[in-house]
Amino acid sequence: MPCERSTACSAPSRHGGLQATTLHRRRRRVRGRPFFPCTGHRAGQRELLRPLLPLTFEVPLNDPYAPLPDRDLVRLALRDEAAFEALVKRHAAGIHRLAASLVGPGAADDVVQEVLISLHRSLKTFRGEAQFSTWLHRVTLNVCYGALKARPTVPLEGQPEPHAPHDPARSGEQAQVRERLAAALAQLPRDQREAIALRELSGLDYAEIAQVTGAELGTVKSRIARARTALRAWLTNAGVTP
């Protein structure tokens, strides 16, 4: 499972008392590590979706909370704003990738902001019966589907791209690949798109995906296998080499 340390957009201080400085300063973006530092067969699978989300993120240095497992960090975050910020940094990249795959890259920032507002309000309800990342991805899915239900139908591939550093030599080609990948994802049934996004973009294992989605383990594996097959076929027909 990839180990990114990321940041996200901010929730204003009027939302549950969350300080604006906690999240708004995440708008400053710097280059970080690749999202998919994998090799071999798994690298090929993740590479299939990698160009869809050309995000940049901050890499925190000397994080005093880094040694803490999620369960302990959550307990601290209930009473310590710095711990909450560390929790956000730890998981923001994963929830942003998931949101972008479901609502489109251009709408993902707003969804992540709503997720973080919800997280700040409802963190006290986390009982530790599942892993925190599993619980947070379930929250993210709920916010994503709420956002999709509330807006007019817009094709995923029609969503505007988030701002990214301009590279004239590659921007045109990358934009085309992202458009086709987004279009390919949009063709998948919701359950398959959800499952493959949780696996390949958020890095959850099959058991965690089963917990998040409420599906049987065998069903999760089947959905992901069908999604991979469909994506490769769609992209091949579109002239993109998976």
| Residues recorded for the chain | 242
Q: pLDDT digits over 173-230, tens only?
A: 666 777 777 778 888 999 999 999 999 888 889 999 999 999 999 999 999 999 999 9
Residue 116, pLDDT score:
92
CA-CA distance, 184 to 180, in Å (whole number)? 6
With contact defined as beta carbons under 8 Å apart, do 172 and 204 qualify? no
Cα R_g (the chain), whole angstroms = 17
Q: pLDDT digits over 6-43, tens only?
A: 444 444 343 444 444 444 443 333 333 333 333 344 44
With contact defined as beta carbons under 8 Å apart, do 17 and 119 qualify? no
- Look up the pTM and report it: 0.65
Report residue 172's pLDDT band, with 50, 70 and 90 as the boundaries: low
- In the chain, domain spans: 20-237
User: Per-residue DSSP letters for 11-80?
Assistant: PPTTTTT--HHHHGGGGS------S----HHHHHHHHTTGGG--------SS-TTTTS-HHHHHHHHTT-
Least confident span in 53-57, 79-83, 154-158: 53-57
The CATH number given to 20-237 is 1.10.1740.10
